[in-house]
Amino acid sequence: MEALSLPAALSLVAGGGAGLSPELRAALGASLPLLQRDYRFERVWFWGCIQGVRGAYYIAQGLGPDRAAPRSRLYSLNCLDWSLLTPATEEMLALAEEVKGRFQGDPSFEYSLAEINPEAAARLVQSGKEPVMKEEARLIATIEQIDRAVGIVPRGAFVKTPLGSVHENRHFEGLSLAEAKKLSSYFHFTEPTNLKNKTLLEKADLDPSTDFLNSLEHDIPQGKGSWSIQLEKGGSVVVLRSLLWLGLTFYHVPMTKQFGYVYFGTGEKNLDLPFML
């Protein structure tokens, strides 16, 4: 969610019980503008918080002109001092899938892969690497996994230019209340995969400038199996909560440009989802 509208946005997603203390909000209000200036980001988003056993990681994302380009990610342990994270690699994502349990809250903590996945550990030893995974690498991979799986935006909020870059749609004035209650009105803000499988007849009704992302209606389990949609604040705010990554909350105020998502959780995927349906 936008750094400038953070206090108002946090109040809109507070129905789930997650939030920040006044001290942390004040710290973010002071540090995020400095972060934007020092790293020369065009926009800064507060991504959320991953709660560990001994501490919490507060995450921010820096964006450039192309909103679909890889984002710069930073973390802080106190909302004041920020450290830049390296981009996630496929190897990181694969190893992070093997690690189970809570984060410790210490970036230098090391997970022994020999205990978790002996085969993966053996491959690392053969390639001359230590069979360990630092918590910072797991943090990088988890943020990437959550963004790919449940980072979402309303339909029409972004447009794709003929050159392939993605920008905010200046003509977007929000979804109507009727549209805002449909899963098909929200898209995954990541590289699309389902669009390649659509037939020419299905693509005929799509606008290539706005319908260039995957819709939530195709998520597995399909329908409302992986999302909860609710009207809050007297029906003036539509809130979507992910059942796959518990703690991810998206909000949109219909007929306005206000939308965003934030994550407050333990960084663990809900592997019990199929048994909950």
So where are the chain's domains? 3-108+134-150, 154-265
Of 168 and 115, the structure prediction assigns the larger pLDDT to: 168
Q: How far is CA 69 from CA 13, 146, 238, 245, 254, in A?
A: 27, 17, 27, 23, 27
User: In terms of C-beta density within 10 A (0-12 exposed, 13-18 middle, 19 or more buried), how is residue 269 classed?
Assistant: middle
Using CA atoms, how far apart are residues 241 and 234, in angstroms rounded to an integer? Answer: 18
Q: Which tokens hold the place of 20?
A: 């920040």
pLDDT tens-digit readout, 68-96: 888 999 999 999 999 999 999 998 898 89
Q: In the predicted model, is pLDDT for residue 16 greater than 90?
A: no
**Band of residue 200 on the pLDDT scale cut at 50, 70, 90:** very low
Residue with tokens 């990681």, as numbered in its chain: 57
User: In terms of C-beta density within 10 A (0-12 exposed, 13-18 middle, 19 or more buried), how is residue 200 classed?
Assistant: exposed
Residue 136 near residue 108 (C-beta atoms within 8 A)? yes
Residue with tokens 């981009």, as numbered in its chain: 87
List, edge to edge, every strand of the sheet that includes 72-76: 82-84, 72-76, 56-63, 43-51, 259-265, 248-252, 237-242, 227-232
Give the residue from 135, 166, 195 showing the smallest Cα distance to 71: 166
- Mean pLDDT value across residues 203-213: 68
**Band of residue 201 on the pLDDT scale cut at 50, 70, 90:** very low
pLDDT tens-digit readout, 17-52: 778 999 999 999 999 999 999 999 999 999 999 999
Using CA atoms, how far apart are residues 33 and 39, in angstroms rounded to an integer? Answer: 10
Q: In the predicted model, is pLDDT for residue 188 greater than 60?
A: yes
Using CA atoms, how far apart are residues 134 and 120, in angstroms rounded to an integer? Answer: 15
Q: Which tokens hold the place of 208?
A: 């290539």
